Structure 1
Amino acid sequence: MTTLGWIIISSLSLVVLYLLYNLIQEVLMNKKLNKFKGKLTGDKTKVTQVLLYRKAYQVVLAAMLVFTLSISGVFREGIILENQKLLTQAHQVGSKSKLLSLLDELQDRYDYGFFPEAGLEDAVDAPADEDSQRDFIDTNVQVEGVDEADIIKTDGEYIYYASRYYSKINVVLVNDDYEVEVLESIDLGDVYTEDMYLTEDYIVVVGYTYHYFPIDYTEGDMAIGWYYQAPTGTVSVIDRDTYDVVYEVETDAYFFDHRMIDDVMYLVSTKYLYDTEDELRPTFIETKEGMETESFVDYDDIYYYEDVLSTAMTVITSIDLSDFSYDAEAFLGGVNQIYANQESLYTAFSYYNYDQTDNVGSYETLIMKFDLNTEMRDITYQGGQSILGYVENSYWMDEYEGYLRVVTTEFWPAKNRLYVLEEDLEEDLLNVVATIDEGLGLENENVKSVRFNKEIGQVVTFEQTDPLYTIDLSDPRNPVILENPIKEEGYSTYMHVWTEDYYLIGFGFDATSEGRITGLKLSAYDTRLEEPLETYSFASDSEGFTYSFSEAIYNPRALMIDATKGIVGFPMSMYHYDEFNYYY
């Protein structure tokens, strides 16, 4: 409770006590007078009740006022979370009526130029099992011990392939002679795959189920079909021995991204809100042992920031594969990127913040932190902070020894920054403890890639050349950009630490000295030097125009990297043409 609240309620309480004391004195005095009068005259008169009733009514009203103010939260600074933190940044929605009022308020802000959805367009190698007889390279992930989904997974003996947007998973056996045999084609029915995880016991499929509904032509729909589709996000857990679906959960949100830590899956989803819907809460339908159960995220587990409202709701869900249960929280607002390690999950939501008073706006990113309790298998909101600029990639965020390091960029004019944030122990706040807002990039250069490695950060910016900056983060409250960045033509979209802290592999685009992109390149760096150790450009030596591209440019999981074996692999497409020939 605020200091003003304590003063007002304490003062009113004293008034109630004073009125109550006067009322008691009046009653006692009237009784004494009545008794004394009876002795003198022998008659007893009735005590006048009107005055007593009036004063009693005043006491009751004053007491009710104090009680109402005490429990209403009018003077409350914040709600105490289960983790004993004071909730001062975020607020609980609490009810459907409150959520509807927030949506109405958001519509008013749209009218005045507030655009919360404005923002961006939407690796460490996992060690092989020492007891395994076969060696294999797993999915390229950002944080060791935090698995990321892919359409192909293997344990060194079986290969599981989930063709994206189809409803089948092929199980392939690789025998001792390295011959392959398709053992099974698992039919997922109405579930269409998007990604997949592999655990010791289960295949975990992330996809969508499409439901069909008749069109109501009375509302003016054109007669172009009998049904429309409404996809729901679906997670199917399949037993690796029997290929049976042992658990399934559907939600009315769209999956944005997810991670797997041990046998707990963490999902970040987006639910779009329409005030015409009867049910605004995120919905979950679980199927376990043939029984369906429907449940909702409680309004008390939905939060919002007053300055960051949105018609989208971000849902954070944990699914425990050990007992097939889930836990979920939600926030009003979208999500552009996520970062997760084994203790925490962070979301980044970029938006345009317009100040109606000063008639100016800025692009900002709201960073929110959630604690991942591996013992309780649940998630808990910890705090948030808004910073300037965009976060374009999950690799632009990293937590090390309690400090979150974040790189942001802005366009028109170009501006690059590094923030260091630390969780507040008492309030739901991420405190900014350090900032670098000068020196990252030359004029008009934007950030293209970032890689953090313990006490070192590497940042690539680009307009015509590729400066690779190294930042000393050994003192998180005083980060320093080291002198003499590496410069080369083109830029890296992904960087990978190679055996030693100062060795890097950069994958990205080659370019001319004027900044024109010519195709793919692979570079090796020693960040103690001022030039790359070696650069290999994937271009044709023939006359004419050549261009190459790879999915790995925007999806690091398309890279196959093993520094101990000296392997870097990636898919590539190339086309070349001149006045006589064309090939792809």
Structure 2
Amino acid sequence: MNALGIVVISVLGVIFAFVLYRMIVDIIWNKRLEKFHKTNENPVFKSPLRMLNLKRGMIGASTALLALVLVVTGVFDLSQTVLDVDTGKLKTLEYAKKAHSMEDILDKMNADDASYYYGPEAGNGALAPEEDLDGTTASQKSIVGTNNHVESVEESDTVKTDGDLIVFADQYNPDTLQLFEVDENGLLTKLAPIIFDKYYISSIFLTEDYIITIGMEFENMYTYYDQDHGIYSMAYVGWYPTLYQGKANVVSRDTHDIVYSIKTNGLIKAERLIDNNLYLIFNTYRQEASILPKFIEIKDDVEVESVLPFEDIFFFDQIPAYNLTTILSLNLNTFEYDAEAYLGVAEDIYVTKNAIYVSGYYYQEGIFFFDGGNKTHLVKFKLNTETGKVSYAASIVLSGYIENQFFMDEYQGHLRVATSIQWDAFEKNRLYVLEEDETTDKFYIVGLLQDGIGKPQERIMSVRFFENFAYIVTFRNTDPLYTIDLSDPANPVIINEIEEPGYSTYLHRFGDQQLIGIGYDESFGVKISAYLSENTSLPIETFYFKDDSPEYSWSYSQALNDHTKILVSPDLGFIGFAVSKTTYGNNQNTYSSAFYVFNINFEDEDIIKDPIIINHTGALYTYTVDKAVYIDGIFYTFSNLSVVSYNVSTSSIMQTVDLKS
């Protein structure tokens, strides 16, 4: 209880004690007076003290009841605090609360109805980063790898390389890592694969010492948790439920042995590598028998199990608790970890060098159509990459929803956030500029643009921030591409609008005012366009993947929904991605999958050059090209059947490595 609470309760206590004292004294003296009158045979008059004592009793009872209510409700409880791992100072919690027991967690989760929860559609609609290099080796090879969103924050991928080794996590063989050694001439030597038992790999990291796999471990369960009855039951004969648990393995590059593993009781939603710290974000859900985050570490064949303490779990009174989201930081030198968690909603993750932002989407019932609709709860955790510590920092509720991580951007002390509508004529697309309070867990809105972003009922399809500019694409029938000036954070201004049929789901900045966009044409086939972001109303050039033949054709690319599938380097002047095409005609279907590389030069008359097409041979629908990496003038493209290398200097296929042999 804080000082004000102590004073108020003390005053109420004194009033109650005084009233009680006066009632007792009056009763005693009234009894003595009655006895005196009877002894002296004096006439006895009705005393007004009974009514007075009744009033005093009511005052005393009300005072006691008020004090009890104040204590029980915690109105004057001491403010909870959290240590800011960046500044080392304490911050007062005004929005979040710390859990003290399992009862706190269960009460919060049981108090909320999850039936209103429906997250945004899968896919990133992403607008790309400027930094895209995996990094260079000591030999200073020219390498283009994972298309990272933020500089110095490495994202996981299905293909990783450092120029000497290429590691491929084939999604069609999720228990296997394919390894390739790159010689001085760029030729590949296929090494023995690493095969895991009862473990599916979703993505990987590659460091100087380790290959890090992110995935899930599974096992068939002979008993299962019956949610309806809250008990464990025997599985039916012939049917065994499968238990999936998120797991990260740290594998030695030299020996291919697993030197360390950490397993959770939830599924890993996102992961990042910053310096020598691995960050895992995973969810456990309200339906699970054990909601508390649990970690099982495996090192030298020894398992150590631990559970996150209650004081490291936060919740918010006004936010529904659909799941429990945990932020875990693992030091790859010492294999020590730190973690915090919160009850709420969690969908999209944006990570900078010093912070993790988690956004969640929920529906809030309004009062007479006011203050209701789609809401986004945004939560910030601060990171200290030197100590490996994680700490909750701030949160805010915004109108609308966030589609993906590219809707958020941190720049010069401000967080810029775009929120979209869901085809609702009464809603607006918005661009917020937020600033974190230094002493509490609040965000302040320092700037807001809520008019002019999209025409009626157009929702935001993609967002990209770069320094003082934001590029926002909206869509319903046409694709407006807005350029917004954010040089004055308190006064965002739209300075340009481009319209075209279809829309872009991905934009990449190639230079001052120069953008390349990948997206859908008006027939929902794949297209790539070049834009100038100021003083233009149309794209300056577009390449369509459809042809002029009478047959019906359809094209699709994973790059439309996953920015890591794009290989891009403005410095080297290219952008590439895999495209699958299906053509229907002459009573037959033709399917192909290839990697397309476009050379880009805004100084030439033809900005987008005709693509280099790197084909992979295969039977109908039995293969798909996944992605590529670039090392010293050679594109290495990967499918589930083969690796095809293309040499830029000779303009020819250099090598094909069969993955099925």
TM range (shorter): 0.7 to 0.9
* In 1: Cα distance, 2:499 partner to 2:222 partner: 60
Aligned CA distance change for structure 1 residues 220 and 374 (closer, same or farther; 3 Å): closer
1:562 aligns with 2:569: yes
Alignment partner for residue 509 of structure 1, among 499, 520, 524? Answer: 520
Give the superposition deviation at 1:146. Answer: 0.6
Aligned CA distance change for structure 1 residues 270 and 199 (closer, same or farther; 3 Å): same
Contact 2:101 2:310 in 1 (8 A): yes
Alignment partner for residue 327 of structure 1, among 338, 354, 365? Answer: 338
Alignment partner for residue 107 of structure 2, among 77, 101, 106? Answer: 101
Look up the equivalent residue of 1:124 and give its one-letter code.
Answer: E
Alignment partner for residue 372 of structure 2, among 361, 365, 370? Answer: 361
Contact 1:451 1:458 in 2 (8 A): yes
1:487 aligns with 2:499: yes
Aligned CA distance change for structure 1 residues 236 and 577 (closer, same or farther; 3 Å): same
* In 2: Cα distance, 1:387 partner to 1:359 partner: 14
1:223 aligns with 2:231: no
1:45-60 mapped onto 2 (5 Å cutoff): none
Aligned CA distance change for structure 1 residues 2 and 477 (closer, same or farther; 3 Å): farther
Which is worse superposed, 71-80 or 189-198? 71-80
Look up the equivalent residue of 1:138 and give its one-letter code.
Answer: G
Q: 1:145-191 deviations in whole A, cap 9, x for unaligned? A: 11111111001111111223622212101212322111221122232
Give the superposition deviation at 1:4. Answer: 5.5
* In 2: Cα distance, 1:467 partner to 1:311 partner: 35
1:95-244 mapped onto 2 (5 Å cutoff): 95-106=101-112, 109=113, 115=116, 117-122=117-122, 123-127=129-133, 128-129=135-136, 131-164=138-171, 166-215=174-223, 219=233, 222-225=236-239, 227-244=240-257
1:536 aligns with 2:543: yes
Contact 2:137 2:163 in 1 (8 A): no
Give the superposition deviation at 1:334. Answer: 2.8
Look up the equivalent residue of 1:520 and give its one-letter code.
Answer: V
Matched residue SS, 2:184: coil
1:337-356 mapped onto 2 (5 Å cutoff): 337-355=348-366
Q: 1:121-160 deviations in whole A, cap 9, x for unaligned? A: 3423344427424222110011111111111100111111
Give the superposition deviation at 1:522. Answer: 0.8
Match of 2:275 in 1: 262
Look up the equivalent residue of 2:501 and give its one-letter code.
Answer: E
Match of 2:640 in 1: none
Give the superposition deviation at 1:98. Answer: 1.6
Give the superposition deviation at 1:242. Answer: 1.5
Give the superposition deviation at 1:379. Answer: 0.9
* In 2: Cα distance, 1:67 partner to 1:120 partner: 45
Match of 2:91 in 1: 85
Q: 1:434-456 deviations in whole A, cap 9, x for unaligned? A: 11111001122211111100100
Which is worse superposed, 92-101 or 386-395? 92-101
Aligned CA distance change for structure 1 residues 69 and 365 (closer, same or farther; 3 Å): closer
Give the superposition deviation at 1:76. Answer: 2.5
* In 1: Cα distance, 2:378 partner to 2:333 partner: 30
Aligned CA distance change for structure 1 residues 453 and 359 (closer, same or farther; 3 Å): closer
Q: 1:79-116 deviations in whole A, cap 9, x for unaligned? A: 0212311111011121011222223322xx46xxx62x
* In 2: Cα distance, 1:66 partner to 1:413 partner: 48
* In 2: Cα distance, 1:411 partner to 1:280 partner: 31
1:11 aligns with 2:22: no
Match of 1:303 in 2: 314
1:309-458 mapped onto 2 (5 Å cutoff): 309-355=320-366, 361-414=372-425, 415-458=428-471
* In 2: Cα distance, 1:537 partner to 1:264 partner: 42
Alignment partner for residue 474 of structure 1, among 487, 502, 524? Answer: 487
Contact 1:274 1:311 in 2 (8 A): no
* In 2: Cα distance, 1:77 partner to 1:133 partner: 57
Aligned CA distance change for structure 1 residues 186 and 220 (closer, same or farther; 3 Å): closer
Aligned CA distance change for structure 1 residues 579 and 161 (closer, same or farther; 3 Å): closer
* In 1: Cα distance, 2:382 partner to 2:316 partner: 19
* In 1: Cα distance, 2:296 partner to 2:107 partner: 27
Aligned CA distance change for structure 1 residues 78 and 404 (closer, same or farther; 3 Å): same
Of structures 1 and 2, the one with the larger relative CO (CA 8 A, separation 6+) is: 2
Matched residue SS, 1:482: strand
Contact 1:237 1:247 in 2 (8 A): yes
Match of 1:55 in 2: none
Identity value in percent? 35
Stretches of structure 1 that go unaligned for 5 or more consecutive residues are: 20-61
Look up the equivalent residue of 1:331 and give its one-letter code.
Answer: Y
Contact 2:380 2:395 in 1 (8 A): yes
Give the superposition deviation at 1:475. Answer: 1.0
Matched residue SS, 1:410: coil
Aligned CA distance change for structure 1 residues 290 and 72 (closer, same or farther; 3 Å): farther
Alignment partner for residue 288 of structure 1, among 291, 299, 304? Answer: 299
* In 1: Cα distance, 2:558 partner to 2:365 partner: 36
Which is worse superposed, 572-581 or 360-369? 572-581
Aligned CA distance change for structure 1 residues 545 and 2 (closer, same or farther; 3 Å): farther
Q: CA RMSD in A?
A: 2.9
* In 2: Cα distance, 1:494 partner to 1:180 partner: 32
Scaled by the length of structure 2, what TM-score is found? 0.75
* In 2: Cα distance, 1:220 partner to 1:158 partner: 47
Q: 1:210-232 deviations in whole A, cap 9, x for unaligned? A: 1222147995854333x321011
Match of 2:600 in 1: none
* In 1: Cα distance, 2:67 partner to 2:345 partner: 40
Matched residue SS, 1:521: strand
* In 2: Cα distance, 1:435 partner to 1:68 partner: 40
Look up the equivalent residue of 1:554 and give its one-letter code.
Answer: N
1:522-533 mapped onto 2 (5 Å cutoff): 522-530=528-536, 531-533=538-540
Give the superposition deviation at 1:385. Answer: 0.3
Contact 2:157 2:203 in 1 (8 A): yes
Give the superposition deviation at 1:311. Answer: 3.6
Q: 1:237-271 deviations in whole A, cap 9, x for unaligned? A: 01111211111000001111111111111111110
* In 1: Cα distance, 2:477 partner to 2:69 partner: 65
Contact 1:316 1:329 in 2 (8 A): yes
Contact 1:77 1:88 in 2 (8 A): no
Aligned CA distance change for structure 1 residues 184 and 578 (closer, same or farther; 3 Å): closer
* In 2: Cα distance, 1:12 partner to 1:544 partner: 86
Scaled by the length of structure 1, what TM-score is found? 0.84
Matched residue SS, 1:75: coil
Give the superposition deviation at 1:318. Answer: 0.9
